[in-house]
Amino acid sequence: MNKVKGLLKHWEFILLLLFVLEFMIFGVANPGKFFRASSILASVTNYISVCIIALFVTFVMITGGIDIQASALIGLTSITIGVLWSDAGLNIWQAVFIAILLSACCGALSGFFIAYCGVQPMVVTLGGSLLYSGVALLISGLSKTPAYQGISGFPAKAANGTFTSFRFLGKGTLFGIVPVPIVIYFVLIVLCYFLLHKTKYGRKVFLIGVNPEAAEYSGINSRLVIMSTYILTSVGAAIAGVLLTANIDSAKYDLGSTFTLSIITAVVLGGTLSTGGKGSIFGTVLASLMICVMRYGLPLCFGIKTQSLDLPIGIMLLVVVVGREVAKSPVIRKYFNKRKKRG
Protein backbone atom coordinates (compact mmCIF):
# COMPACT_ATOMS: atom_id res chain seq x y z
CA MET A 1 0.00 0.00 0.00
CA ASN A 2 2.83 2.36 0.86
CA LYS A 3 4.44 1.60 -2.50
CA VAL A 4 1.22 2.56 -4.30
CA LYS A 5 0.99 5.82 -2.35
CA GLY A 6 4.62 6.51 -3.21
CA LEU A 7 3.96 5.97 -6.91
CA LEU A 8 0.92 8.26 -6.82
CA LYS A 9 3.20 11.08 -5.69
CA HIS A 10 5.01 10.85 -9.03
CA TRP A 11 3.26 12.82 -11.76
CA GLU A 12 4.64 10.51 -14.47
CA PHE A 13 2.87 7.53 -12.88
CA ILE A 14 -0.42 9.46 -12.78
CA LEU A 15 0.06 10.37 -16.45
CA LEU A 16 0.63 6.71 -17.27
CA LEU A 17 -2.63 5.78 -15.54
CA LEU A 18 -4.47 8.54 -17.42
CA PHE A 19 -2.92 7.35 -20.68
CA VAL A 20 -4.18 3.79 -20.07
CA LEU A 21 -7.61 5.15 -19.06
CA GLU A 22 -7.74 7.22 -22.26
CA PHE A 23 -7.01 4.11 -24.33
CA MET A 24 -9.74 2.18 -22.50
CA ILE A 25 -12.37 4.90 -23.03
CA PHE A 26 -11.70 5.20 -26.75
CA GLY A 27 -11.39 1.44 -27.08
CA VAL A 28 -14.80 0.83 -25.50
CA ALA A 29 -16.39 3.61 -27.58
CA ASN A 30 -15.21 2.18 -30.92
CA PRO A 31 -13.11 -0.98 -30.53
CA GLY A 32 -13.34 -1.97 -34.20
CA LYS A 33 -11.62 1.14 -35.54
CA PHE A 34 -9.61 2.51 -32.61
CA PHE A 35 -7.38 -0.52 -32.03
CA ARG A 36 -6.05 -0.71 -35.58
CA ALA A 37 -2.27 -0.65 -35.14
CA SER A 38 -1.67 0.86 -38.58
CA SER A 39 -4.05 3.76 -37.84
CA ILE A 40 -2.47 4.46 -34.44
CA LEU A 41 1.05 4.45 -35.91
CA ALA A 42 -0.07 6.72 -38.75
CA SER A 43 -1.64 9.11 -36.25
CA VAL A 44 1.54 9.27 -34.15
CA THR A 45 3.59 9.83 -37.32
CA ASN A 46 1.38 12.74 -38.36
CA TYR A 47 1.79 14.28 -34.90
CA ILE A 48 5.48 13.48 -34.49
CA SER A 49 6.64 17.07 -35.08
CA VAL A 50 4.89 18.26 -31.92
CA CYS A 51 6.29 15.31 -29.93
CA ILE A 52 9.85 16.05 -31.06
CA ILE A 53 9.75 19.79 -30.37
CA ALA A 54 8.16 19.22 -26.95
CA LEU A 55 11.24 17.18 -25.93
CA PHE A 56 13.52 20.17 -26.49
CA VAL A 57 11.14 22.84 -25.18
CA THR A 58 11.32 20.89 -21.90
CA PHE A 59 14.94 22.04 -21.55
CA VAL A 60 13.93 25.67 -22.11
CA MET A 61 11.07 25.62 -19.61
CA ILE A 62 13.13 23.92 -16.91
CA THR A 63 15.46 26.93 -17.00
CA GLY A 64 12.42 29.15 -16.42
CA GLY A 65 12.02 30.25 -20.05
CA ILE A 66 9.49 29.60 -22.77
CA ASP A 67 9.76 29.09 -26.53
CA ILE A 68 6.77 29.84 -28.77
CA GLN A 69 8.78 30.37 -31.95
CA ALA A 70 9.54 26.71 -32.64
CA SER A 71 6.45 26.20 -34.80
CA ALA A 72 7.55 29.09 -37.05
CA LEU A 73 10.94 27.40 -37.49
CA ILE A 74 9.22 24.31 -38.90
CA GLY A 75 7.91 26.37 -41.80
CA LEU A 76 11.24 28.18 -42.22
CA THR A 77 13.10 24.86 -42.39
CA SER A 78 10.59 23.38 -44.80
CA ILE A 79 10.54 26.23 -47.32
CA THR A 80 14.34 26.64 -47.14
CA ILE A 81 14.78 22.99 -48.11
CA GLY A 82 12.27 23.36 -50.94
CA VAL A 83 13.75 26.53 -52.45
CA LEU A 84 17.38 25.39 -52.17
CA TRP A 85 16.60 22.03 -53.77
CA SER A 86 14.03 23.07 -56.36
CA ASP A 87 15.23 26.54 -57.41
CA ALA A 88 18.89 26.79 -56.34
CA GLY A 89 19.68 23.28 -57.63
CA LEU A 90 21.41 22.03 -54.47
CA ASN A 91 21.56 18.38 -53.50
CA ILE A 92 18.66 17.53 -51.17
CA TRP A 93 20.99 16.72 -48.26
CA GLN A 94 22.91 19.97 -48.72
CA ALA A 95 19.57 21.79 -48.58
CA VAL A 96 18.61 19.91 -45.40
CA PHE A 97 21.94 20.76 -43.73
CA ILE A 98 21.68 24.47 -44.59
CA ALA A 99 18.05 24.58 -43.38
CA ILE A 100 18.96 23.01 -40.03
CA LEU A 101 21.92 25.39 -39.69
CA LEU A 102 19.67 28.38 -40.44
CA SER A 103 17.17 27.26 -37.81
CA ALA A 104 19.98 26.81 -35.25
CA CYS A 105 21.17 30.37 -35.99
CA CYS A 106 17.64 31.66 -35.38
CA GLY A 107 17.56 29.86 -32.03
CA ALA A 108 20.99 31.26 -31.15
CA LEU A 109 19.83 34.80 -31.97
CA SER A 110 16.75 34.54 -29.76
CA GLY A 111 18.75 32.80 -27.03
CA PHE A 112 21.34 35.60 -27.12
CA PHE A 113 18.72 38.30 -26.56
CA ILE A 114 17.20 36.32 -23.68
CA ALA A 115 20.39 35.20 -21.95
CA TYR A 116 22.78 38.08 -22.57
CA CYS A 117 20.44 41.06 -23.01
CA GLY A 118 17.93 40.13 -20.32
CA VAL A 119 14.85 40.43 -22.54
CA GLN A 120 11.81 38.41 -21.42
CA PRO A 121 11.61 34.99 -23.18
CA MET A 122 7.92 35.47 -24.03
CA VAL A 123 8.65 38.78 -25.77
CA VAL A 124 11.68 37.49 -27.69
CA THR A 125 10.11 34.22 -28.87
CA LEU A 126 6.82 35.92 -29.78
CA GLY A 127 8.77 38.41 -31.86
CA GLY A 128 10.89 35.56 -33.21
CA SER A 129 7.76 33.68 -34.25
CA LEU A 130 6.56 36.66 -36.29
CA LEU A 131 10.04 37.41 -37.66
CA TYR A 132 10.87 33.86 -38.76
CA SER A 133 7.40 33.39 -40.27
CA GLY A 134 8.02 36.55 -42.28
CA VAL A 135 11.46 35.33 -43.38
CA ALA A 136 9.91 32.01 -44.47
CA LEU A 137 7.36 33.91 -46.54
CA LEU A 138 10.13 35.99 -48.15
CA ILE A 139 12.10 32.84 -49.00
CA SER A 140 8.99 31.28 -50.56
CA GLY A 141 8.83 34.33 -52.84
CA LEU A 142 12.17 33.30 -54.34
CA SER A 143 10.61 30.13 -55.74
CA LYS A 144 8.94 29.78 -59.11
CA THR A 145 6.21 27.77 -57.38
CA PRO A 146 3.38 29.85 -55.89
CA ALA A 147 3.54 30.00 -52.08
CA TYR A 148 0.05 28.55 -51.60
CA GLN A 149 0.89 25.43 -53.63
CA GLY A 150 4.06 24.39 -51.86
CA ILE A 151 7.13 22.81 -53.44
CA SER A 152 6.74 19.08 -54.05
CA GLY A 153 8.32 16.23 -56.01
CA PHE A 154 11.16 15.44 -53.62
CA PRO A 155 13.35 12.33 -54.23
CA ALA A 156 11.08 9.43 -53.42
CA LYS A 157 11.06 5.87 -54.76
CA ALA A 158 13.67 3.67 -56.39
CA ALA A 159 12.95 1.38 -59.34
CA ASN A 160 11.91 -1.45 -57.00
CA GLY A 161 9.18 0.75 -55.47
CA THR A 162 10.76 1.23 -52.04
CA PHE A 163 11.08 4.68 -50.47
CA THR A 164 14.62 5.95 -50.63
CA SER A 165 16.55 9.14 -50.05
CA PHE A 166 14.71 12.11 -48.57
CA ARG A 167 11.15 10.78 -48.65
CA PHE A 168 12.25 7.69 -46.70
CA LEU A 169 12.58 9.93 -43.61
CA GLY A 170 8.87 10.66 -43.70
CA LYS A 171 7.30 7.65 -45.40
CA GLY A 172 9.72 4.77 -44.86
CA THR A 173 9.24 1.95 -42.37
CA LEU A 174 11.60 -0.20 -40.31
CA PHE A 175 11.10 -3.93 -40.99
CA GLY A 176 7.98 -2.93 -42.91
CA ILE A 177 6.13 -2.12 -39.66
CA VAL A 178 7.40 0.85 -37.65
CA PRO A 179 7.45 4.24 -39.44
CA VAL A 180 10.90 5.84 -39.64
CA PRO A 181 9.72 9.11 -37.96
CA ILE A 182 8.74 7.10 -34.86
CA VAL A 183 12.15 5.40 -34.83
CA ILE A 184 13.85 8.81 -35.04
CA TYR A 185 11.58 10.07 -32.24
CA PHE A 186 12.59 7.12 -30.04
CA VAL A 187 16.29 7.85 -30.66
CA LEU A 188 15.72 11.51 -29.73
CA ILE A 189 13.92 10.46 -26.54
CA VAL A 190 16.95 8.42 -25.47
CA LEU A 191 19.37 11.23 -26.33
CA CYS A 192 17.31 13.91 -24.55
CA TYR A 193 16.79 11.70 -21.49
CA PHE A 194 20.52 11.05 -21.23
CA LEU A 195 21.40 14.71 -21.79
CA LEU A 196 18.91 16.07 -19.25
CA HIS A 197 19.00 13.43 -16.53
CA LYS A 198 22.43 11.83 -16.78
CA THR A 199 24.92 14.60 -17.60
CA LYS A 200 26.45 17.66 -15.94
CA TYR A 201 24.74 19.80 -18.56
CA GLY A 202 21.33 18.52 -17.42
CA ARG A 203 22.15 19.24 -13.78
CA LYS A 204 23.12 22.79 -14.76
CA VAL A 205 19.78 23.22 -16.56
CA PHE A 206 17.87 22.17 -13.42
CA LEU A 207 19.98 24.31 -11.08
CA ILE A 208 19.47 27.41 -13.24
CA GLY A 209 15.72 26.83 -13.09
CA VAL A 210 15.73 26.37 -9.32
CA ASN A 211 18.04 29.25 -8.44
CA PRO A 212 19.86 31.24 -11.17
CA GLU A 213 21.90 33.25 -8.65
CA ALA A 214 23.15 30.10 -6.91
CA ALA A 215 24.05 28.64 -10.30
CA GLU A 216 26.18 31.69 -11.10
CA TYR A 217 27.90 31.59 -7.72
CA SER A 218 28.72 27.91 -8.22
CA GLY A 219 30.67 28.76 -11.37
CA ILE A 220 28.04 27.83 -13.99
CA ASN A 221 27.90 30.02 -17.07
CA SER A 222 24.12 30.42 -16.80
CA ARG A 223 23.77 32.66 -19.82
CA LEU A 224 25.55 30.21 -22.11
CA VAL A 225 23.46 27.29 -20.83
CA ILE A 226 20.21 29.23 -21.30
CA MET A 227 21.21 30.24 -24.82
CA SER A 228 22.10 26.63 -25.63
CA THR A 229 18.59 25.43 -24.69
CA TYR A 230 17.08 27.70 -27.34
CA ILE A 231 19.58 26.41 -29.90
CA LEU A 232 18.60 22.84 -29.00
CA THR A 233 14.92 23.67 -29.46
CA SER A 234 15.56 25.29 -32.83
CA VAL A 235 17.47 22.20 -34.00
CA GLY A 236 14.58 20.03 -32.76
CA ALA A 237 12.15 22.23 -34.71
CA ALA A 238 14.33 21.86 -37.80
CA ILE A 239 14.35 18.06 -37.46
CA ALA A 240 10.57 18.16 -37.10
CA GLY A 241 10.36 20.35 -40.20
CA VAL A 242 12.50 17.93 -42.22
CA LEU A 243 10.37 14.92 -41.21
CA LEU A 244 7.09 16.72 -41.85
CA THR A 245 8.22 17.94 -45.26
CA ALA A 246 9.37 14.44 -46.21
CA ASN A 247 6.14 12.94 -44.93
CA ILE A 248 3.72 15.13 -46.92
CA ASP A 249 6.08 15.72 -49.87
CA SER A 250 5.48 19.45 -49.73
CA ALA A 251 7.60 22.40 -48.57
CA LYS A 252 5.48 25.29 -47.31
CA TYR A 253 6.35 28.47 -45.44
CA ASP A 254 3.46 28.06 -42.96
CA LEU A 255 3.98 24.38 -42.17
CA GLY A 256 3.44 23.70 -38.46
CA SER A 257 2.10 27.18 -37.72
CA THR A 258 -0.72 25.77 -35.55
CA PHE A 259 1.48 23.58 -33.32
CA THR A 260 2.35 26.08 -30.57
CA LEU A 261 -0.57 25.32 -28.22
CA SER A 262 -0.04 21.56 -28.45
CA ILE A 263 3.72 21.88 -27.82
CA ILE A 264 3.36 24.03 -24.69
CA THR A 265 0.49 21.87 -23.40
CA ALA A 266 2.55 18.68 -23.83
CA VAL A 267 5.46 20.13 -21.84
CA VAL A 268 3.33 21.59 -19.03
CA LEU A 269 1.05 18.54 -18.82
CA GLY A 270 4.20 16.41 -18.66
CA GLY A 271 5.09 17.95 -15.30
CA THR A 272 7.45 20.76 -16.28
CA LEU A 273 6.85 23.84 -14.14
CA SER A 274 6.29 27.06 -16.06
CA THR A 275 8.45 28.77 -13.42
CA GLY A 276 11.34 26.35 -14.02
CA GLY A 277 13.35 23.95 -11.89
CA LYS A 278 11.27 20.83 -12.45
CA GLY A 279 10.47 18.60 -15.39
CA SER A 280 11.25 15.28 -17.06
CA ILE A 281 11.60 13.84 -20.53
CA PHE A 282 9.47 10.82 -19.65
CA GLY A 283 6.63 13.07 -18.49
CA THR A 284 6.78 15.12 -21.70
CA VAL A 285 6.72 11.95 -23.82
CA LEU A 286 3.66 10.59 -22.00
CA ALA A 287 1.82 13.91 -22.26
CA SER A 288 2.67 14.21 -25.97
CA LEU A 289 1.33 10.73 -26.66
CA MET A 290 -1.79 11.46 -24.60
CA ILE A 291 -2.56 14.50 -26.75
CA CYS A 292 -1.76 12.50 -29.89
CA VAL A 293 -4.19 9.72 -28.91
CA MET A 294 -6.80 12.34 -27.99
CA ARG A 295 -6.52 13.96 -31.43
CA TYR A 296 -6.84 10.51 -33.00
CA GLY A 297 -9.62 9.15 -30.80
CA LEU A 298 -12.03 12.08 -30.42
CA PRO A 299 -12.94 12.39 -34.13
CA LEU A 300 -12.92 8.61 -34.63
CA CYS A 301 -14.94 7.59 -31.57
CA PHE A 302 -17.07 10.64 -30.77
CA GLY A 303 -17.32 12.43 -34.11
CA ILE A 304 -15.67 15.66 -32.92
CA LYS A 305 -14.54 17.84 -35.81
CA THR A 306 -10.80 18.21 -36.37
CA GLN A 307 -11.14 22.01 -36.25
CA SER A 308 -12.46 21.76 -32.67
CA LEU A 309 -9.61 19.65 -31.26
CA ASP A 310 -7.70 22.66 -29.90
CA LEU A 311 -10.56 23.23 -27.43
CA PRO A 312 -9.95 20.13 -25.24
CA ILE A 313 -6.19 20.69 -25.47
CA GLY A 314 -6.60 24.28 -24.28
CA ILE A 315 -8.85 23.10 -21.44
CA MET A 316 -6.21 20.55 -20.40
CA LEU A 317 -3.56 23.28 -20.29
CA LEU A 318 -5.75 25.55 -18.14
CA VAL A 319 -6.73 22.74 -15.77
CA VAL A 320 -3.11 21.69 -15.21
CA VAL A 321 -1.79 25.24 -14.67
CA VAL A 322 -4.67 26.34 -12.42
CA GLY A 323 -4.62 23.02 -10.56
CA ARG A 324 -0.94 23.43 -9.69
CA GLU A 325 -1.49 26.95 -8.40
CA VAL A 326 -4.44 25.81 -6.29
CA ALA A 327 -2.38 22.92 -4.91
CA LYS A 328 0.26 25.42 -3.75
CA SER A 329 -2.36 27.39 -1.80
CA PRO A 330 -1.65 27.48 1.97
CA VAL A 331 -5.34 26.79 2.66
CA ILE A 332 -5.32 23.62 0.55
CA ARG A 333 -2.06 22.41 2.07
CA LYS A 334 -3.34 23.09 5.59
CA TYR A 335 -6.50 21.10 4.85
CA PHE A 336 -4.60 18.04 3.60
CA ASN A 337 -2.10 18.22 6.48
CA LYS A 338 -5.00 18.11 8.95
CA ARG A 339 -6.51 15.11 7.22
CA LYS A 340 -3.13 13.40 7.21
CA LYS A 341 -2.75 13.91 10.98
CA ARG A 342 -6.25 12.58 11.63
CA GLY A 343 -5.50 9.53 9.51
CATH number at residue 149: 1.10.3470
* CB-count burial class (<10 Å; 0-12, 13-18, 19+) for 152: middle
Residue 333 pLDDT > 80: no
- Is 28 a member of any domain? no
User: Mean of the pLDDT values across residues 318-338?
Assistant: 69
User: Mean of the pLDDT values across residues 215-221?
Assistant: 89
Q: In terms of pLDDT, which residue wins out, 143 or 6? A: 143
- Is 30 a member of any domain? no
- Is 320 a member of any domain? yes
Specify the number of domains making up the chain. 1
pLDDT per residue over 146-157, tens digit each?
A: 877 888 888 766
User: Mean of the pLDDT values across residues 216-245?
Assistant: 95
Q: For the whole prediction, is pTM greater than 0.85?
A: yes
Residue 4 pLDDT > 80: no
- Is 22 a member of any domain? no
- Is 9 a member of any domain? no
Note the pLDDT of residue 334: 66
Across the chain, the runs of DSSP E, i.e. the strands, are 173-174, 178-179
Which helix (DSSP H) or strand (DSSP E) does residue 306 occupy?
A: none
- Is 17 a member of any domain? no
User: Mean of the pLDDT values across residues 123-130?
Assistant: 96
- Is 8 a member of any domain? no
- Is 4 a member of any domain? no
Q: Which domain holds residue 233?
A: 43-342
Note the pLDDT of residue 183: 94
Which range among 67-76, 106-115, 299-308, 330-339 shows the weakest confidence by mean pLDDT?
Answer: 330-339
Note the pLDDT of residue 331: 67
Residue 320 pLDDT > 80: no
Note the pLDDT of residue 338: 66
Percent of all residues in the chain with a pLDDT value above 90, rounded to a whole number: 49
| Segment of 190-194, 250-254, 310-314 carrying the highest mean pLDDT | 190-194
SS3 231: helix
User: Mean of the pLDDT values across residues 117-128?
Assistant: 95
State the pLDDT confidence band at 9, using cuts at 50, 70 and 90. low
Note the pLDDT of residue 53: 96
User: Mean of the pLDDT values across residues 324-333?
Assistant: 67
- b or e along 283-322 (b: 16 or more beta carbons within 10 Å of the residue's beta carbon)? bbbbbbbbbbbbbbbbebbeebeeeebeeebeebbeebee
